[in-house]
């Protein structure tokens, strides 16, 4: 998978934070936290950017109703209008799948290979089967692509919070 993006016509500080590109998490560079890749402010919080470059490579091995998915993801956010393809952040890990009639139930666990200050050593980046549903809605034009990625990450966070509350 390759994902490239650019916002032209305005400087980064004139683009609303909700309209900027962000990277990191299950729908992006697995192994990093949700929207944790890219330029950061003085508090070490991500500020987003004007351009995006992401790459993902995975191998899918299926054994009946189960599967294993090793992956390597890379990406970064830039304040320039065009991606520079420099200082890419790499994440690698392993996912497991249980294939149902409804869709795969998945769990991906990754680690950043070249973390920034403040990044976790291991991140559970995708849980459940919400991702295919949200991505299908995005492909049909029901959701903006950035919204789909953010929605998947928010759903993953909610599932984790519910599981932690029940424990």
Q: Could you read off the pLDDT of 23-35 as tens digits, one per residue?
A: 998 889 998 988 9
Whole-structure pTM value: 0.71
Distance, in Å, from the CA atom of 35 to the CA atom of 20, rounded to the nearest integer, reads 11
Beta bridge pairs of residue 123: 110
Distance, in Å, from the CA atom of 111 to the CA atom of 8, rounded to the nearest integer, reads 32
Query: Which pLDDT value is given to residue 77?
Result: 95
Q: What is the DSSP code (8-state) at residue 54?
A: E
Distance, in Å, from the CA atom of 56 to the CA atom of 62, rounded to the nearest integer, reads 19
- pLDDT by residue (tens digit) across 83-118? 999 999 999 999 999 988 888 888 888 999 998 877
pLDDT at 134 over 50: no
Query: Which pLDDT value is given to residue 132?
Result: 46
Query: Which pLDDT value is given to residue 85?
Result: 92
Q: What is the phi/psi pair of residue 10, to 5°?
A: -145, 150
Query: Which pLDDT value is given to residue 123?
Result: 72
Q: Cα dist. 143→4, 19, 22, 139 in Å?
A: 18, 14, 17, 8
């Amino acid at each position: 998978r390759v994902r490239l993006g650019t916002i032209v016509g305005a400087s980064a500080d004139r683009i609303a934070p909700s309209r900027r590109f962000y990277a990191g998490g299950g729908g992006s560079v697995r192994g990093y936290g949700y929207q944790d890749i890219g330029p950061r402010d003085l508090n070490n919080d991500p500020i987003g950017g004007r351009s995006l470059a992401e790459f993902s490579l995975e191998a899918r091995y299926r054994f009946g109703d189960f599967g294993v998915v090793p992956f390597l993801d890379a990406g970064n956010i830039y304040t320039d209008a065009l991606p520079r393809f420099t200082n890419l952040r790499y994440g690698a890990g392993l996912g497991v799948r249980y294939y149902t009639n409804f869709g795969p139930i998945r769990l991906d666990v990754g680690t950043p290979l070249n973390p920034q200050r403040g990044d976790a050593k291991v991140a559970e980046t995708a849980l459940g089967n919400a991702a295919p549903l949200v991505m299908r809605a995005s492909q049909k034009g029901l959701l903006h692509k950035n919204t789909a990625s953010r929605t998947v990450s928010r759903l993953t966070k909610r599932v984790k919070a519910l599981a932690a509350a029940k424990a």
